[in-house]
Structure 1
Amino acid sequence: MSPPDDRNEDSRPLKTPASPVVPRTASPLSIILEPFQWLTMLSSQLNPTFIAGVFLVYGLGQGFSGSFFKVVSDYYWKDVQKVQPSAVQLYAGLYFIPWVMKPVWGILTDTFPVRGYRRRPYFVLAGVLGLFSGLAIAVLANLPVVVALLCLIGVSASMAIADVTIDACIARNSIEVRSLAPDLQSLCGFCSSTGALIGFLTSGFFVHHLGPQGSLGLLAIPPALLVVLGFVIYEDKLSGSHHGKKQLIVEKVGSTISSMWQTIMYPQVWRPSLYMFLSLTLNFSTHEGHFYWYTDPKAGPAFSQEFVGMIYAIGAVGSIFGVLIYHKTLKDLPFRNLLFYAQLLYAISGMLDLLFVLRWNLILGIPDYFFVVIEETATRISSKIRWMPMIVLSTQLCPLGIEGTFFALLMSVDSIGMLLSRTMGGVVLHLFHVTRSDFTNLWLAVLLRNILRFSTLSLIFLVPKFDQSEGFLPSEVSGKKMSDSVEEEGLELVPTTINEKSVL
């Protein structure tokens, strides 16, 4: 199977032949300095405080907290609540509810200021919510399943609310400096993958020494730092003419929703959005079945708590390599070609799961500990290469003026796809009777998942053929502006040496 052809050569702009470049051998020092030079370039082209915000939210929040949350919560449901894997798969899908609500958080931060501030109070809100949710589930013993689930959803909501503001900044910068859109997503990918690596490496250690419930208390630390961030972030206070006028707020909300609806109705927008949604939904998750099988002493390989964390940490390293591969070799390829081959690679890598569950690796003489490293690395690299261009594509679909809320809308659509993926996975595990001790049909669930991954290739026609640095929205959309009631964002970190602005 081959991907659709690129645009005709005649339709492409003529390029001036580049001058010959004399190849130079990179020194070890230049290789070490290259990331710092790259960050310096991004800081000079954009705002250095924006770069710092990406590190805080993506690195500490989504990266570390997300990975630590994933491992520790799995052990909490398995060892403390003693829930079946199919039920945990459904519970994990509910974690995406706050992410589905991202447009709501976006509209709130855009149109409902608190004491004249639109951003800082919501960082504080996110921090307080995550802080109390993490402490509650760690301190209170014998929690009912419903209460424990609400606490974990609260932790997830804290991450989602904090994520909205930085996403708006990313979308705006990606539109205004389109040539840096792939670099911005590379930065986000590096931060989240590095944070995930640290979270996975430490998760097994803390579960072993503190237990699953005690380890969940550590999830209160990043939200506490979000509270601090809300007090040290500089933001221009809205003037009195904008503060407290309910009629103006209603008009702004109505204008935002109307503009979002008009934009999503363009084929250039809804077609790729539909592809991203379907590609995520059809890839239903069997993660909880794998996790229970990993730790089973009879049917599975009986991996220890520390090694389970190490497996995911290796996967995080694979994600970093995926970001590097994308950043170095793939960010200039057209969207359609890149997503076709990325999805194909992702589907092929899923077959390694099938080999592992069937234990064919032992027939081939490959030990479990070695094969799971190969499987996790291949899956995470291909997953990251598949995900990066979809995020870049999402930023390119956002019109100016409502880029923050519209990007949140696209991300919520993706979150709905992930929620459905988790839900479908739980239903499939239940139908195939995969339980805490019976994994006989786990391979059938994995096989069905892989077939759906390959079927996604037939939807590639929905993706545009344009390069990743090109704008492809109609002029009436790409230049769309909201009314003057929508102010420019003025968010930056307060200098640590001079802080003459008042705080909340």
Structure 2
Amino acid sequence: MLCLSPRAPCLPGPHAKAPPSAGAGDNAHRLTLRAAPRRWRLARHRGCSAAAPVPVPAPRTTAERWGSLREMRRVWWVCGAGYWVQGFRCFPWLALNFHLTRGLGLSPVALQLVQNAGSLPLVAKPLFGVLSDAVYIGREHRLPYISIGALLQLTAWGTLAIMPVTGDTFPTHMICILIGNLGASVTEVVSDAVVTEFSRTQRTGVLQSYAFIGLAAGALLGNLSGGYVLLRTQEPKIMFTAFSVLLGLQLALSIGTKETLPSSHGNSRSLLVKSSLWANLRKQFSNLMTAVREERIFYPLAWIMTSFAVVPVLSGTMFCFQTQHLKLDSSIIGLSKVMGQVMVVSLTVLYNRYLKRIPLRRLVCGVQIMYAFAVLSELILVKQVNLMLGIPNEVYVLCFSALAEAIAQFKVLPFSILLSSLCPPGCEGSLFAFFTSGLVFSAILSGVFGVGLSALIGLSSGGYSSLPLGILLQSLAALLPLAWLSFVPENWTADGKIVKQR
């Protein structure tokens, strides 16, 4: 009789004869023989109905293992470069804001609508996550999607670099913004999935912290150089061209790298290729829904998303107030964003060293209260209290203008580490895509509420007398998420991965 499993011994047939034995050993052997026909029939039934066993891969040599490690390091560098480039996107976006307000003459409300409408492709991240988890391009399912995302962004920003500045080109501008954000969303989804796969082999939170630092470092350099270049040249198209060149380098790097991940030598792909494309997608979507329905995942996701959605954002109005009413240079705006990214890096290092030992609910409560006070601090600039204290507008904007934005960006880090520790294998791309798309959708809702609040209290480019009221309402709204703070795990820490079920 043939073995049904390459690792299990052969089961005896139903009529196998017992070897001679005596005493208690003979009784035990007879009991074994009576059970043998039942086991043999079960094994034969399974052998007929089940698929052929997956062959065990041959053990790899030392040279192959070292080569695999080198390739994994290259993949990680591609992923890190992707985070840096995504952080550097503030470089062309700073130019685009000036381009839309000064070149095309958009009002503050229209600028904020463009910013929020342009973020709509980011809401489709779960689809890209499911695709990258379930659909292989060749023998790879991560790096090809990074290449596709870089190509889409290159197409969008390259088109903006050569497009004439006239009022009738606004629809084309909007299409380019949508395509650019579509490419950025694909790249971000896959980068998050790669980080999650690599994080299974590292200490908790280390790779997420490095990714945050890479993102903040790109944003720091982008804002620093963006303000300087825009002040020197007054030509946004130069910045569009420079960013297009950077995207071309990212595209070449991702194409020239072989995908090797910690899961590459498992059998996850062998399980996927046996089914049709539609079956793979349906199975991956079902796995995503199962993961999201888990209480330990659903409740933290609900809290972090609603904590952004309920706060109306007045970013476009504040940008116009600083540039048109206070007459601040673009270099000051860029440097203020630099200070914000320095704060993000500092908070990330502080979290990785000390704050990750604090239980998540207590940490998030403190961060949310700090965010509310940071929003309220904008009143000092709007009411010109800083001038009464002898602090020029430029210095105040440089040091404190990006404080609330930095705290909001840092607030995402503990939740990303929590999801990494809870994410089921095989759902890395789809779960984190769902997470980030939820954040984007919350930001869009926040921007829409900000536009509605601006219209309600009468904010316009001609007058900012009601801006203090808007900031006060925004600060009060930032305290609302404390009412459902019980959604956040009480005893979980990034050090111990202790999750107390709600």
* Bucket of the pairwise TM-score, normalised by the shorter protein: 0.7 to 0.9
Change (3 A) 1:171 1:331: same
2-structure distance, mates of 1:343, 1:88: 27
Is the radius of gyration larger for structure 1 or structure 2?
2
Which residue in 2 is equivalent to 1:26? none
Cα deviation per residue 1:388-437 (whole Å; 9 max; x = unaligned)? 21222232332122122112111111111111112222222232232222
Q: CA deviation at 1:243?
A: 12
2-structure distance, mates of 1:420, 1:387: 17
Q: Does residue 1:211 correspond to 2:239, yes or no?
A: no
Q: Does residue 1:438 correspond to 2:432, yes or no?
A: no
1-structure distance, mates of 2:110, 2:429: 35
Q: Which runs of 5+ in 2 are unaligned?
A: 1-67
Cα deviation per residue 1:336-387 (whole Å; 9 max; x = unaligned)? 1111111111111111112211212223332212222332364355334423
Contact 2:489 2:499 in 1 (8 A): no
Cα RMSD (Å): 2.9
The match for 2:319 among 285, 291, 295 is: 291
Contact 2:71 2:259 in 1 (8 A): no
2-structure distance, mates of 1:344, 1:244: 46
Which residue in 2 is equivalent to 1:224? 248
2-structure distance, mates of 1:149, 1:447: 32
The match for 1:418 among 443, 447, 461 is: 443
Q: CA deviation at 1:58?
A: 0.8
TM (norm. structure 2) is 0.78
Residue pairs, 1:118-267, within 5 angstroms: 118-141=141-164, 142=166, 144-174=169-199, 176-177=200-201, 180-208=203-231, 209-235=233-259, 248-267=276-295
Q: Does residue 1:280 correspond to 2:280, yes or no?
A: no
Cα deviation per residue 1:85-107 (whole Å; 9 max; x = unaligned)? 11111211123222211111122
The match for 1:458 among 460, 483, 492 is: 483
Q: Does residue 1:334 correspond to 2:359, yes or no?
A: yes
Which residue in 2 is equivalent to 1:86? 109
2-structure distance, mates of 1:375, 1:347: 14
Change (3 A) 1:115 1:325: closer
1-structure distance, mates of 2:239, 2:477: 36
2-structure distance, mates of 1:318, 1:123: 28
- Which amino acid is 2:429 matched to? G
Q: CA deviation at 1:229?
A: 2.3
Q: Does residue 1:375 correspond to 2:403, yes or no?
A: no
Q: CA deviation at 1:123?
A: 2.6
Q: CA deviation at 1:116?
A: 4.3
Which residue in 2 is equivalent to 1:467? 493
1-structure distance, mates of 2:243, 2:464: 31
Any idea what SS the aligned residue of 2:483 has? helix
1-structure distance, mates of 2:382, 2:480: 22
Change (3 A) 1:281 1:231: same
Q: CA deviation at 1:127?
A: 2.2
Any idea what SS the aligned residue of 1:114 has? coil
Deviates more, 1:123-132 or 1:84-93: 123-132
Contact 1:72 1:215 in 2 (8 A): yes
Which residue in 1 is equivalent to 2:22? none
Cα deviation per residue 1:45-103 (whole Å; 9 max; x = unaligned)? 995335413420111x22112x2133112111111111111111121112322221111
Cα deviation per residue 1:150-198 (whole Å; 9 max; x = unaligned)? 1012222222111222211222233x24x72322221112111111111
Change (3 A) 1:401 1:474: farther
Change (3 A) 1:401 1:113: closer
Any idea what SS the aligned residue of 2:448 has? helix
Cα deviation per residue 1:2-47 (whole Å; 9 max; x = unaligned)? xxxxxxxxxxxxxxxxxxxxxxxxxxxxxxxxxxxxxxxxx99995
Which residue in 2 is equivalent to 1:396? 421
Deviates more, 1:95-104 or 1:133-142: 95-104
TM (norm. structure 1) is 0.78
Change (3 A) 1:263 1:115: closer
Contact 2:227 2:334 in 1 (8 A): yes
Q: CA deviation at 1:276?
A: 0.7
Q: CA deviation at 1:122?
A: 2.2
Deviates more, 1:190-199 or 1:429-438: 429-438
- Which amino acid is 2:286 matched to? S
The match for 1:53 among 69, 78, 82 is: 78
2-structure distance, mates of 1:385, 1:115: 37
Change (3 A) 1:385 1:118: closer
Any idea what SS the aligned residue of 2:258 has? strand
Which residue in 2 is equivalent to 1:313? 338
Which residue in 2 is equivalent to 1:64? 88
2-structure distance, mates of 1:472, 1:254: 32
Residue pairs, 1:39-50, within 5 angstroms: 47-50=72-75
Report the count of equivalent residues: 425
Any idea what SS the aligned residue of 1:391 has? helix
- Which amino acid is 1:448 matched to? L
Change (3 A) 1:376 1:397: farther
2-structure distance, mates of 1:219, 1:422: 26
1-structure distance, mates of 2:109, 2:463: 12
Q: Does residue 1:111 correspond to 2:134, yes or no?
A: yes
Q: CA deviation at 1:235?
A: 2.8
2-structure distance, mates of 1:206, 1:84: 24
Contact 1:295 1:301 in 2 (8 A): yes
Change (3 A) 1:431 1:144: farther
